[in-house]
Structure formats: structure tokens, C-alpha cells
Structure 1
Amino acid sequence: MAVNLTFQRRLAAKVLNVGKNKVWMDPECSSTIASCTSSNTIRKLCKDSIIVPKTVNVHSRYHANKRVAEKKKGRHMGLGKRKGAKNARCNKKTQYVRHIRALRHTLTKYYGLKKIDSSVKRNLRSRVKGNEFKSKKSLIETIIKMRNVANEEKEQAKIKQQMVQKAADKGLKKTKAHEQKIMDKIQAIKSKVMNGQKA
């Protein structure tokens, strides 16, 4: 019949300063161990090697170290071993540099094609640096909007200029007509004076 030695095991673990599972009790002396109810009696049994702490299993790092060395060479790092999102294994700074370079390249391209002028490029470049645009698409949309606004402003300026020109032409016509009237009157007076002298 098996004897319950849970209490003695707990006392032995406390005395030996190890876990309960690390305590070895001699199965032949189970009745002697069962009679022990204090830590002093357990200490005596430990001296007599009836209760002994189990040896610690060695957890070798050989295989782990070997794998690390292989990984340094690039083994076990293929596509099948990668987990996580697209940029999970990429440095944040590298991601930022890629993103900014793409946007700046787009700006330079549009400037080279003369779709934007230098002032617009400077403005957009500072906004790119401030992380305003999350993608190339949003940057291109902004460029198109700015171009549309600029075209509208140009058209409005042209219309205003035409209106001013019309008003100026109208005023010129009026002044010319007025001058002509005055000249006609002067001419009439002169002719009257000349006719009076002849008579």
C-alpha cells in the first residue's frame, strides 16, 4: 500500500531549498519518512541520504548556439520562415527613408516635366517632410488640385483684365468723341470769324 508523503515532501523541499518535484525519497524507507513530522527529523534523514535533492538536468545551449551561427550566415531566413506584416521585419527609419525618397522623387519628376513651378515644389517639399502625405497618390491628388486652383485664378485674372481693358477702351472712345466735339465747335467758331472778316 502506497503511503501519502505529500507533507514530508513539502517539508523536505523547504529544508533542501528546492522544488517539490526535485526531492527524491528512498522508496524502501517510506515508513520511516512517513513518521517524520518536523523539519528537524527531515534534516536527519537528509544527512543519512534517505531524502536527497535530484540532480539538475543540464540544458545544453549547443543546438541553440549552432542555429544562431547559421542564422548569421543567412540560413533558416527564407520566405517560408517569415511571419508578420509586410514591414514587420523592416526598421522604422528605413521605412521612413523609403517613403520620403519616393515622394521627393515624384516631386522632382513633376518639376522636371514643368507641371509645377519652383514655389509649389518648395511648399510641397516642406509638407512632405512634415509627413502630411501618406502615399504618392495623395501627393499627386494635391498637385492636381493646386494646378486646377492656379488655372482658375489665371482665368479669373484674364477676365478681370479684359473687363478693365473694355472699360478703358470705352473711356477712350468717350474722351475722343468729346475732343472731336470740342474741335468741331472751335472749327465752327473759326469759320464764323473768318466769314465775318470777309464781309
Structure 2
Amino acid sequence: MSGRFSRSIYVGNLPGDIREHEIEDLFYKYGRIVDIELKVPPRPPCYCFVEFEHARDAEDAIRGRDGYNFDGCRLRVELAHGGRGQSSSDRRGGYGGGGGYGGGGGGGGGSARFGVSRHSEFRVIVRGLPSSASWQDLKDHMRKAGDVCFAEVSRDSDGTYGVVDYTNYDDMKYAIRKLDDTEFRNPWARSYIRV
């Protein structure tokens, strides 16, 4: 399976102060890097996606850096698409601190009435939401880019933000490209969001 999926890796458990050039320093020796997308969620750990020119470079990077200790953090490196049968250990690490992917804890803002909400590893963080935004509003807006399986709205010291999980890598990538700096609307407010 050559294609974009097999050339891209997910790098998790990065320190909160990581910079893109440090990621490049970690991975340049494995092959030519086409793209780096660093994600800094409101709560650590940070994560990123690194796309190589060749699939074998991505495989070499996984072999060389999975479990690598970087600045006191043990990196988790795997193919970005997650596809073929995730093991429970893959899901356990998750993106969040304590809870990881776990259900419960109000995920989806009331979606528990409709069954267990589905999380995925294809996550985007949305900043700049109006304070009146609900998870339903966010899910409706982000659906313009693809199949959303989870949406949640939270607040922190920087304002209102959203967490959106897509069912696949392509939809996540498309959302980052097409919905960043777009107008978000609900019946009470409008704002421009950052994805």
C-alpha cells in the first residue's frame, strides 16, 4: 500500500514546548520530509504528523524512533492512518492525559444518550469558538470536511475550543486545510476559527 497514508507517521507524547525544527531534527535522517503538522492541544502531550517522500522512510522512522526518549518523554511513533486492527495498547495512550480515549466523562456534551461516543486518532483542535458554541454546532460545521465521529466543546483560560475526531486521515487533513480560518456560525454568534 504505497500512497500518502503509508508515507505519513503519527508522533505522540511530545513535550509541551516542542518546536517544528526539533521534530525535523528527530526525523530528517530517515529521509526527505515533505510536511510536518505540529499539534499543540490545550493539555499536553503534544503530537504531530510527519509526511515523508517515501514509504520506506516512514517505516524506518517508526523503527528508529518509537519508544525513543526525547526530553524525558517516551515517543510513540506509528503510521498515521492507524488502519489495520489497533491493539488495546495503541488506544490506551490516546491523546489526553489521564483519560486517553476512554468513554465517560461527558464526552460529546450529552451524546451519551445515543450510545457510546466513538473516538479516533484523527483529531483536530479548533480554537476561537464563540462561548455559545455547542458540540452539535461544532460537529455540524466540521462535517463540511468529512465524517465526524466525535465532537466536544470545552473552555480554558484562552477561551472556548473544540476537539473533533474524524473517522479517517483524509477527512482530518482536508479539515485542517479547508476549515482553518473559516467563519463558524450558530444562532447566537459568529467567529473565525483556527484548526
Larger Rg: 1
More helix by share: 1
TM-score by length of 1: 0.21
More strand by share: 2
Structure with greater contact order relative to length (CA < 8 Å, sep ≥ 6): 2
